[in-house]
Amino acid sequence: MTRFKYLSSIPLAFFNADDRDGAADCLEQFRSVPRDAHGSFSVLLFDELCADMQVVADGGEASDALRREV
């Protein structure tokens, strides 16, 4: 339940980040504005899962950690 209050502070495309297009969109949404413009939860997710999302955006498989968070 606690996580739901953060839904408006992360890139909307994160919910599809285990898919190639969704991961690419999420990375673009995050990188399109300065890092300090994002909420702390968004920055935390990006820091922990950026490399995993990049793998998916490049055509690889989603990691278990990424699938769990998505």
The residue among 36 and 55 whose pLDDT is bigger is: 55
The residue among 39 and 11 whose pLDDT is bigger is: 39
- The mean predicted confidence, pLDDT, of the chain is 85
DSSP readout, 51-68? HHHHHHHTT-PPPHHHHH
Cβ pair 53, 16 in contact under 8 A: no
Distance CA 42, CA 38 (A): 6
Cβ pair 20, 54 in contact under 8 A: no
The pTM score is 0.81
Cβ–Cβ contacts within 10 Å for residue 66, how many? 21
Q: What is the mean pLDDT of residues 25-41?
A: 87
Q: How many residues does the chain have?
A: 70
Under the banding of pLDDT at 50, 70 and 90, the label for residue 39 is: confident
